[in-house]
Amino acid sequence: MNFRLFMNKINRYPIRQQLFIIFVPLVLLSTLAIGLILTTDSTRQLTENYKGLTAANAQRVKSVIFDTTNSFKNIANYMSTDNQLREILSTTYLNDTEALQAEDTYSYVTRLKKQETSIYSLSIYSTNPTLVNFKNFAYATPEIQASDWFKQAISQPNEFWKIESEDVIPKLTVYMALPLPLTSYKAVLKIEVDYNYLKNRMAHSSYYTEIQLNNQSLFYSDIIQNVGEPITFSINNHAEEEETFQSTKEKKNALVAINTLDLANEQDKIVVYSADYSAYNNLKANVLRWISILVVVLVTTSLVMIGFANFFSNRIHTLQRAVYHASIEDYAFFKQIAGADEISKISLDFHTITQRIKQKEEQIFEAQLLEKELLNQQQQMEFRLLAGQINPHFLFNTLETIRMTALKNGTPDVAHSIKLLAKSMRFTLDYQGKKITTLAEELDTVTVYTDIQKMRFGDRVNFKIILADSIDPTQIELLPLLIQPLVENAISHGLEGIEENGLVTVRIDKQGHKIIIDVEDNGVGISPEHLEKIRWQIQQNDLDITEHIGLPNVSNRIKMFYGEQYGLSIRSQVAKGTNVQIVINSFAE
């Protein structure tokens, strides 16, 4: 009711004002809504893109750190069980020369440093006072033994990680006690990660990376001056994995992806920060670009709507004048109408509406005449059909007269032949226009056909039907004339050249919903080349062939009615016979 009242009020205004009242706000609001949705969605997708790329870089860095720390852990575990190293550390040497010789025989660390570029330094500290400081071996002085890392190492069995800050560049370092069970000496392994190795593995991207251990100062940064300093980003409570916009100490906005790696000892944790400084500005530029486009579209749309309202109002006035002149039968006005739009066409069509009505009346009259003519033709076709039905009855009556005459004259074989012929012809006529039949009726047709061939060829043609116990032929429906063409093909081609004991066997089985019908003969068979040609003709549905013509026909009918998964297949061996198999469904699909 309110809408109708609103429309009634609108209808009081001219067309031009109606367009301004309804369509201008509608177009502007819809354009604004669509623009905001596109801007929001574009920004969201672009943000997700940047987050995904930044997170992928953080994951890449995490993988590098994982490989490095895992490699160091494996080295430490190996050295903790190395019997040669254990013997060197446990032995009390008589002099420095003997100690140097023993230490020099341990070549594992030398080979390891050549292979592992990630190792900055590897040191073995021992409380054995007879050892000398040579290569990677060092005596643990009282100051070293009093250090936190030495105390922690000998107090726990597993490795642990710290930031070694004795050098200019603090380094990620793993410590692990080397067990010496047969002596009172203590030994600690210390391996430092090379900063340049990490730099080479991580710095080849547009992202800025920082890595810290256990919320301590940074042990890696793409900017080497930041190593040993707190993280650049204003992050307090971060999640295990997160992508968020953060501001740096320099008040720069960056998209930061955080990824955490829990080390194998379950007490140390490495946090990777991957930052994209261009993401925020790119997103901001994207929003400004969309807003600019939206403003341009809104202004352009408003101007177009104003121009269209003026143009449409003028065209409506033209239509109004055309109706007026038509009402006073002043048709000269229509010659002044220009344009090819709908309003011009309405004006011109209004001028010819009377003539069109007359033309329609003539067309209706002609259609009535055509309908009567078609009805007459249909009646003639029905008459021809009735006349055509007389001929089969006359033929059957004639055959029956001949059969009775043959019986009367004592020639029962002739009478039986005529009876079979009449029965076969009746089957053929009954199949005309018939879409479906039963398996029992189909087998009756085949039996009549083979009886006729038996009378013709004698012992050269024999026939038998093998039905599975689970099949009731009266309850199974199928397309008519599926089996008879295959039997005819087997007799005319398969048994060709067979003088006696020719046999055609129809074997019918059921597997689930599938009916499998095999028609096989013990005839001359088909050569491989000819067999491939027949298979190709069946696959191509070549109905123009002159032999085995029933095979493509049967295959095509099966596929059209039952579906492409059903059909016909043929196999043959020369001098052994041919088998044609059709597979159908027990119900139409």
Digitized pLDDT (tens) for each residue of the chain, 589 residues in all: 466 665 666 666 676 666 667 777 777 788 888 888 888 888 888 888 888 888 888 889 989 999 999 999 999 999 999 999 999 999 998 898 998 998 889 989 888 888 888 999 999 999 999 999 888 999 999 999 999 999 999 998 889 999 887 777 888 999 999 999 889 899 999 999 998 999 888 877 888 888 999 888 889 988 888 888 888 877 655 556 676 776 666 657 888 888 889 888 778 899 998 888 888 788 888 888 888 888 888 788 778 777 777 777 776 766 666 666 666 666 555 555 655 666 656 656 655 664 565 567 677 877 676 456 434 433 443 333 333 433 454 345 445 555 565 665 566 666 566 666 666 666 565 655 567 889 999 999 899 888 888 887 888 899 999 999 999 999 999 988 889 889 989 988 888 888 888 999 999 999 999 999 999 999 999 999 999 999 998 888 655 555 556 788 888 888 888 888 999 999 999 989 999 999 999 864 4
Give the domain CATH number at 572: 3.30.565.10
Distance CA 587, CA 566 (A): 12
Position 339 in a domain: no
Residue 473 structural domain: 433-585
Q: Are 150 and 299 contained in the same domain? A: yes
Three-state secondary structure call for residue 516 = strand
Whether residues 322 and 437 fall in one domain:
no
Is 338 domain-assigned? no
- Joined tokens for residue 438: 């039963």
Beta bridge partners of 276: 255
pLDDT, residue 267, reads 84
Task: State the Cα–Cα distance between residues 241 and 239, nearest whole angstrom.
Answer: 5
- For 298, the 3-state DSSP assignment is helix
Predicted confidence at residue 376, as pLDDT, reads: 47
pLDDT at 394: 39
Would you state the pLDDT for residue 386? 36
In a domain, 371, yes or no: no
Is residue 421 in some structural domain? no
Domain boundary, last residue among 292, 317, 332: 332
- Contacting residues for 398 by C-beta, under 8 A, at least 6 apart: none
Please check whether residue 370 lies inside any domain of the structure.
no
DSSP sequence for 213-262: ETT-SEEEESSGGGTTSPPSB--SS--SEEEEEEEBTTS-EEEEEEEEEE
Residue 567 near residue 541, CB atoms below 8 Å: no
Does residue 399 form part of some domain? no
pTM tops 0.85, yes or no = no
As to burial, measured by CB atoms within 10 angstroms (0-12 exposed, 13-18 middle, 19+ buried), residue 353 is: exposed
Q: Looking at 303, 332, 361, which one is the last position of a domain?
A: 332
The dihedral region occupied by 478, where left means phi > 0, alpha psi between -120 and 50, and beta the remainder, is beta
- Which pairing describes strands 119-126 and 137-139: parallel, antiparallel, or unpaired? parallel
Reduced to 3 states, what is the DSSP secondary structure of residue 525? coil
Length of the chain, please?
589
Per-residue 3-state assignment (H helix, E strand, C coil) for 137-184: EEECCHHHHCCHHHHHHHHCCCCEEEEECCCCCCEEEEEEECCCCCCC
The residues, ordered by sequence, that sit 6+ positions from 528 with a Cβ below 8 Å of its Cβ are none
Residue 216 and residue 82 share a domain = yes
Cα–Cα dist 216/499, whole Å: 103
| Residues 196, 98: Cα–Cα separation, whole Å | 37
Instruction: Give Cα 73 to chain centroid, integer Å.
Output: 43
Q: Are residues 328 and 450 in the same domain?
A: no
Helices (H) and strands (E) in the chain, counts: 16, 17
CA angle 537, 538, 544 (to 5 degrees): 50
Token pair for 371 = 């309908």
Q: Examine residue 450 and state whether it is found in any structural domain, yes or no.
A: yes
Tokens standing for residue 36: 């905001």
Residue of 148, 153, 174, 163 lying closest to 213 (CA atoms): 163
Whole-angstrom CA distances from 346 to 318, 321, 323, 357, 361 are 10, 12, 10, 15, 21
With residue 419 as reference, give the H or E element that holds it.
helix 412-431
The answer to whether 219 touches 170, Cβ cutoff 8 Å, is: yes
Give the SS3 label for residue 18.
helix
Q: How many domains does the chain have?
A: 2
Residue type present at position 543: L
Assess if residue 234 is contained within a domain: yes
Out of 332, 347, 382, pick the residue that ends a domain. Answer: 332
* Whether 191 contacts 76, CB under 8 Å: yes
- At 273, which CATH number? 3.30.450.20
Q: Are 536 and 570 in contact (CB under 8 A)?
A: no
Q: How far apart are CA 405 and CA 315, in angstroms?
A: 93
| Ordered strands of the 241-247 beta sheet | 218-221, 208-213, 269-276, 253-262, 241-247
Neighbours of 246 (CB within 10 A): 19
In degrees, to the nearest 5, what angle opens at C-alpha 102 toward C-alphas 99 and 103? 85
d(CA 110, CA 116): 10
Tokens representing residue 119 in the block: 């190792």
Return the structure tokens found at 92.
Answer: 């009390």
Claim to verify: residue 325 and residue 460 sit in the same structural domain: no
